[in-house]
Amino acid sequence: MEHSDNGVTPGGQPAEPTSGATPGSPSAEPPADSAATPPGRPLQTEFNDGRDYPRLGRFSFRRGTLTENQQRLWEEHWPRLGTDLPETEHCVVDLHEWFGRQADTIVEIGSGTGTSTAAMAPLEAEKNIVAVEIYRPGLAKLLGAVVRGGITNVRMIKGDGVEVLARMFAPNSLAGVRIFFPDPWPKARHHKRRIIQTGTLHLIATRLRPGGVLHVATDHADYAEWIDGLVASEPQLEYLGWPADVPQLTDRQVLTKFEGKGLSKEHVIRDYLWRKRP
Protein backbone atom coordinates (compact mmCIF):
# COMPACT_ATOMS: atom_id res chain seq x y z
CA MET A 1 0.00 0.00 0.00
CA GLU A 2 1.22 3.45 -0.85
CA HIS A 3 1.42 6.53 1.29
CA SER A 4 -1.73 8.23 0.14
CA ASP A 5 -4.13 10.63 1.69
CA ASN A 6 -6.56 7.80 1.38
CA GLY A 7 -9.10 9.25 -0.87
CA VAL A 8 -8.82 12.88 0.10
CA THR A 9 -5.75 14.33 -1.52
CA PRO A 10 -5.58 14.95 -5.25
CA GLY A 11 -3.66 12.56 -7.46
CA GLY A 12 -3.59 10.80 -10.78
CA GLN A 13 -2.83 11.84 -14.30
CA PRO A 14 -2.55 15.39 -15.62
CA ALA A 15 -5.24 14.63 -18.18
CA GLU A 16 -7.55 13.30 -15.48
CA PRO A 17 -8.06 15.94 -12.75
CA THR A 18 -9.36 14.30 -9.62
CA SER A 19 -10.50 14.80 -6.05
CA GLY A 20 -9.05 12.04 -3.94
CA ALA A 21 -6.07 10.09 -2.70
CA THR A 22 -2.88 9.42 -4.54
CA PRO A 23 0.18 7.34 -3.79
CA GLY A 24 2.20 10.13 -5.41
CA SER A 25 2.91 13.48 -3.86
CA PRO A 26 1.67 16.80 -5.19
CA SER A 27 4.33 18.47 -7.31
CA ALA A 28 3.11 22.01 -6.75
CA GLU A 29 1.34 24.20 -4.23
CA PRO A 30 -2.29 25.07 -4.89
CA PRO A 31 -2.50 28.19 -7.08
CA ALA A 32 -4.08 31.33 -5.75
CA ASP A 33 -7.12 30.96 -8.02
CA SER A 34 -8.07 27.56 -6.61
CA ALA A 35 -11.77 28.43 -6.50
CA ALA A 36 -12.24 26.97 -9.98
CA THR A 37 -12.90 23.25 -10.07
CA PRO A 38 -10.94 21.27 -12.69
CA PRO A 39 -13.13 19.39 -15.21
CA GLY A 40 -14.01 15.89 -14.07
CA ARG A 41 -13.27 16.57 -10.42
CA PRO A 42 -16.36 16.05 -8.23
CA LEU A 43 -17.10 18.82 -5.77
CA GLN A 44 -16.45 18.00 -2.15
CA THR A 45 -19.60 17.53 -0.11
CA GLU A 46 -20.41 20.56 2.02
CA PHE A 47 -20.38 19.66 5.71
CA ASN A 48 -21.96 22.22 8.01
CA ASP A 49 -21.85 20.40 11.32
CA GLY A 50 -19.02 22.36 12.92
CA ARG A 51 -16.51 19.52 12.65
CA ASP A 52 -13.20 19.52 10.79
CA TYR A 53 -12.91 17.73 7.45
CA PRO A 54 -9.93 17.35 5.11
CA ARG A 55 -9.50 20.38 2.88
CA LEU A 56 -8.88 19.93 -0.82
CA GLY A 57 -6.81 22.12 -3.11
CA ARG A 58 -5.70 22.15 -6.73
CA PHE A 59 -2.43 20.53 -7.67
CA SER A 60 -0.25 19.49 -10.55
CA PHE A 61 0.15 15.73 -10.46
CA ARG A 62 2.90 13.31 -11.25
CA ARG A 63 2.21 11.50 -14.47
CA GLY A 64 0.68 8.06 -14.21
CA THR A 65 -0.46 6.14 -17.26
CA LEU A 66 -1.72 2.62 -17.80
CA THR A 67 0.26 0.07 -19.72
CA GLU A 68 -1.35 -1.51 -22.76
CA ASN A 69 -2.14 -4.64 -20.76
CA GLN A 70 -3.54 -2.63 -17.85
CA GLN A 71 -5.76 -0.68 -20.24
CA ARG A 72 -7.05 -3.90 -21.77
CA LEU A 73 -7.83 -5.37 -18.36
CA TRP A 74 -9.46 -2.11 -17.29
CA GLU A 75 -11.79 -2.03 -20.27
CA GLU A 76 -12.70 -5.69 -19.83
CA HIS A 77 -13.09 -5.96 -16.05
CA TRP A 78 -13.63 -2.49 -14.54
CA PRO A 79 -17.35 -2.35 -15.44
CA ARG A 80 -17.89 -5.47 -13.29
CA LEU A 81 -15.35 -4.99 -10.50
CA GLY A 82 -15.11 -1.22 -10.22
CA THR A 83 -17.07 1.99 -10.38
CA ASP A 84 -16.41 5.72 -10.31
CA LEU A 85 -17.88 8.09 -7.76
CA PRO A 86 -20.99 9.40 -9.55
CA GLU A 87 -21.74 13.08 -9.93
CA THR A 88 -25.22 12.64 -8.47
CA GLU A 89 -25.89 13.17 -4.77
CA HIS A 90 -27.87 9.97 -4.18
CA CYS A 91 -25.73 7.04 -5.28
CA VAL A 92 -25.72 4.48 -2.45
CA VAL A 93 -24.18 1.28 -3.75
CA ASP A 94 -26.17 -1.95 -3.51
CA LEU A 95 -23.54 -4.18 -1.91
CA HIS A 96 -25.69 -7.31 -2.13
CA GLU A 97 -26.12 -6.91 -5.86
CA TRP A 98 -22.51 -5.84 -6.51
CA PHE A 99 -20.96 -8.79 -4.67
CA GLY A 100 -23.78 -11.22 -5.35
CA ARG A 101 -24.05 -12.21 -1.71
CA GLN A 102 -24.79 -11.01 1.81
CA ALA A 103 -21.56 -10.59 3.78
CA ASP A 104 -19.78 -8.21 6.13
CA THR A 105 -18.25 -5.34 4.17
CA ILE A 106 -14.94 -3.61 4.88
CA VAL A 107 -14.05 -0.35 3.15
CA GLU A 108 -10.37 0.41 2.67
CA ILE A 109 -9.76 4.12 2.13
CA GLY A 110 -6.61 4.79 0.12
CA SER A 111 -5.68 1.39 -1.25
CA GLY A 112 -2.74 2.79 -3.25
CA THR A 113 -1.41 0.16 -5.64
CA GLY A 114 -3.38 -2.52 -3.79
CA THR A 115 -0.49 -4.84 -2.95
CA SER A 116 -1.66 -5.52 0.58
CA THR A 117 -5.33 -5.41 -0.41
CA ALA A 118 -4.82 -8.25 -2.87
CA ALA A 119 -2.73 -10.19 -0.35
CA MET A 120 -5.21 -9.86 2.52
CA ALA A 121 -8.43 -10.44 0.56
CA PRO A 122 -8.00 -14.22 0.08
CA LEU A 123 -7.42 -14.51 3.84
CA GLU A 124 -10.73 -12.72 4.40
CA ALA A 125 -12.75 -14.60 1.80
CA GLU A 126 -15.89 -14.42 3.93
CA LYS A 127 -15.76 -10.59 3.85
CA ASN A 128 -16.59 -8.12 1.09
CA ILE A 129 -13.67 -5.73 0.52
CA VAL A 130 -14.21 -2.34 -1.15
CA ALA A 131 -10.97 -0.54 -2.04
CA VAL A 132 -11.32 3.23 -2.50
CA GLU A 133 -8.59 5.13 -4.33
CA ILE A 134 -8.38 8.13 -6.64
CA TYR A 135 -5.16 7.11 -8.41
CA ARG A 136 -6.22 5.21 -11.54
CA PRO A 137 -2.88 3.44 -12.16
CA GLY A 138 -2.99 2.18 -8.58
CA LEU A 139 -6.47 0.80 -9.10
CA ALA A 140 -5.32 -0.73 -12.39
CA LYS A 141 -2.57 -2.61 -10.55
CA LEU A 142 -5.05 -3.88 -7.98
CA LEU A 143 -7.51 -4.82 -10.71
CA GLY A 144 -4.80 -6.84 -12.45
CA ALA A 145 -3.91 -8.65 -9.23
CA VAL A 146 -7.58 -9.42 -8.56
CA VAL A 147 -8.14 -10.79 -12.07
CA ARG A 148 -4.93 -12.80 -12.25
CA GLY A 149 -5.39 -14.16 -8.72
CA GLY A 150 -9.03 -15.09 -9.21
CA ILE A 151 -9.93 -13.00 -6.15
CA THR A 152 -13.70 -12.80 -5.91
CA ASN A 153 -14.31 -10.65 -2.82
CA VAL A 154 -12.77 -7.32 -3.91
CA ARG A 155 -14.52 -4.39 -5.57
CA MET A 156 -13.06 -0.94 -6.27
CA ILE A 157 -14.29 2.65 -6.27
CA LYS A 158 -12.39 5.51 -7.89
CA GLY A 159 -13.04 8.73 -6.02
CA ASP A 160 -12.41 10.94 -3.01
CA GLY A 161 -12.67 8.80 0.11
CA VAL A 162 -14.72 11.29 2.13
CA GLU A 163 -17.14 11.73 -0.77
CA VAL A 164 -17.40 7.98 -1.28
CA LEU A 165 -18.19 7.35 2.39
CA ALA A 166 -20.71 10.18 2.52
CA ARG A 167 -22.55 9.42 -0.71
CA MET A 168 -22.08 5.76 -1.58
CA PHE A 169 -22.59 3.88 1.71
CA ALA A 170 -25.70 3.82 3.84
CA PRO A 171 -25.57 4.57 7.57
CA ASN A 172 -24.86 1.53 9.77
CA SER A 173 -23.89 -0.60 6.76
CA LEU A 174 -20.18 -1.39 7.24
CA ALA A 175 -18.41 -3.94 9.41
CA GLY A 176 -15.10 -2.13 9.16
CA VAL A 177 -13.14 0.79 7.72
CA ARG A 178 -9.37 0.68 7.21
CA ILE A 179 -7.01 3.61 6.66
CA PHE A 180 -3.45 2.34 6.43
CA PHE A 181 -0.51 4.77 6.25
CA PRO A 182 -2.30 7.91 5.10
CA ASP A 183 -0.29 10.81 3.73
CA PRO A 184 1.02 12.58 6.88
CA TRP A 185 1.11 16.03 5.26
CA PRO A 186 4.07 16.88 7.54
CA LYS A 187 4.14 20.66 7.02
CA ALA A 188 2.02 22.48 9.59
CA ARG A 189 0.21 24.52 6.95
CA HIS A 190 -0.93 21.26 5.32
CA HIS A 191 -2.29 19.58 8.46
CA LYS A 192 -5.80 20.61 7.42
CA ARG A 193 -5.49 18.10 4.55
CA ARG A 194 -4.94 15.10 6.82
CA ILE A 195 -7.75 12.60 6.54
CA ILE A 196 -7.96 11.94 10.28
CA GLN A 197 -10.10 14.83 11.49
CA THR A 198 -13.05 15.12 13.85
CA GLY A 199 -15.46 15.25 10.92
CA THR A 200 -14.01 12.21 9.18
CA LEU A 201 -14.17 10.17 12.38
CA HIS A 202 -17.80 11.19 12.79
CA LEU A 203 -18.62 10.30 9.18
CA ILE A 204 -16.99 6.89 9.53
CA ALA A 205 -18.89 6.30 12.78
CA THR A 206 -22.19 6.93 11.02
CA ARG A 207 -21.34 4.39 8.29
CA LEU A 208 -20.16 1.67 10.69
CA ARG A 209 -22.79 -0.61 12.12
CA PRO A 210 -22.82 -1.04 15.93
CA GLY A 211 -19.75 -3.11 16.78
CA GLY A 212 -18.03 -2.14 13.52
CA VAL A 213 -14.32 -1.37 13.72
CA LEU A 214 -12.17 1.48 12.39
CA HIS A 215 -8.47 0.67 12.01
CA VAL A 216 -5.87 3.35 11.29
CA ALA A 217 -2.10 2.75 11.02
CA THR A 218 0.75 5.23 10.63
CA ASP A 219 4.54 5.23 10.89
CA HIS A 220 4.80 9.04 11.08
CA ALA A 221 5.50 10.22 14.64
CA ASP A 222 3.92 13.65 14.23
CA TYR A 223 0.80 12.19 12.64
CA ALA A 224 0.58 9.68 15.48
CA GLU A 225 0.68 12.57 17.95
CA TRP A 226 -2.09 14.26 15.92
CA ILE A 227 -4.23 11.11 16.09
CA ASP A 228 -3.51 10.75 19.82
CA GLY A 229 -5.32 14.02 20.31
CA LEU A 230 -8.40 12.77 18.45
CA VAL A 231 -8.91 9.25 19.80
CA ALA A 232 -11.75 10.33 22.10
CA SER A 233 -13.21 13.07 19.89
CA GLU A 234 -16.08 11.01 18.43
CA PRO A 235 -18.61 9.88 21.07
CA GLN A 236 -19.98 7.09 18.86
CA LEU A 237 -16.55 5.43 18.74
CA GLU A 238 -14.97 3.56 21.65
CA TYR A 239 -11.18 3.71 21.43
CA LEU A 240 -9.69 0.25 21.80
CA GLY A 241 -5.98 0.82 21.29
CA TRP A 242 -4.51 -2.47 20.09
CA PRO A 243 -5.89 -5.25 22.34
CA ALA A 244 -5.07 -8.88 21.80
CA ASP A 245 -8.67 -9.76 20.97
CA VAL A 246 -9.01 -7.40 18.00
CA PRO A 247 -11.46 -8.75 15.39
CA GLN A 248 -9.65 -10.44 12.52
CA LEU A 249 -11.09 -8.00 10.00
CA THR A 250 -8.66 -5.34 11.21
CA ASP A 251 -5.54 -7.51 11.20
CA ARG A 252 -2.80 -6.24 8.87
CA GLN A 253 -1.81 -9.74 7.82
CA VAL A 254 0.84 -8.59 5.32
CA LEU A 255 3.20 -5.67 5.33
CA THR A 256 2.13 -2.73 3.24
CA LYS A 257 4.74 -1.15 1.00
CA PHE A 258 5.10 1.87 3.24
CA GLU A 259 5.09 -0.15 6.43
CA GLY A 260 8.04 -2.12 5.10
CA LYS A 261 9.87 1.10 4.28
CA GLY A 262 9.07 2.50 7.70
CA LEU A 263 10.36 -0.59 9.49
CA SER A 264 13.54 -0.51 7.42
CA LYS A 265 14.10 3.02 8.73
CA GLU A 266 13.28 1.92 12.28
CA HIS A 267 10.06 3.91 12.32
CA VAL A 268 7.55 3.02 15.01
CA ILE A 269 4.31 1.65 13.57
CA ARG A 270 1.27 2.88 15.46
CA ASP A 271 -2.10 1.17 15.13
CA TYR A 272 -5.34 2.76 16.27
CA LEU A 273 -8.58 0.88 16.70
CA TRP A 274 -12.07 2.09 17.49
CA ARG A 275 -15.32 0.17 17.83
CA LYS A 276 -18.70 1.74 17.22
CA ARG A 277 -20.77 1.80 20.36
CA PRO A 278 -24.16 -0.02 20.43
Parts of the chain with a pLDDT under 70 = 1-43, 56-64, 243-267
Supply the pLDDT for residue 84. Answer: 95
- Alpha-carbon distance of 66 to 71, in angstroms, equals 6
Where does the chain have alpha helices with state H?
68-81, 95-99, 115-120, 136-149, 161-168, 198-207, 221-228, 257-264
In this structure, is residue 39 part of a structural domain?
A: no
Residue 173 and residue 8: Cα distance in Å, rounded?
Answer: 21
Q: Which domain holds residue 147?
A: 68-276
SS3 content of the chain, % helix, strand, coil (to 5): 30, 20, 50
Kindly state whether residue 37 falls inside one of the protein's structural domains: no
pTM of structure: 0.81
Query: How far apart are alpha carbons 228 and 263 in whole angstroms?
Result: 21
Look at residue 118 and give its three-state secondary structure: helix
In a domain, 194, yes or no: yes
For 241-252, how does the pLDDT look when each residue is reduced to its tens digit (9 = 90+)?
876 565 544 555
- According to the model, what pLDDT value does residue 249 have? 45
Q: Which residues are catalytic?
A: 183
Question: What is residue 79's predicted lDDT score, i.e. its pLDDT?
Answer: 98
Question: For the chain, how many structural domains are there in total?
Answer: 1
- As a whole number of angstroms, the distance between CA 276 and CA 278 comes to 7
* Binding residue positions for substrate: 187, 219, 256-259
∠ Cα 129 19 77 (to 5°):
45
**Binding-site sequence positions:** 108, 133, 160, 183, 187, 219, 256-259
What CATH number has the domain bearing residue 138? 3.40.50.150
41 in a structural domain: no
pLDDT at residue 47, rounded to an integer: 86
- Encode pLDDT of 20-56 as tens digits: 333 333 333 333 333 444 433 455 788 889 999 998 6
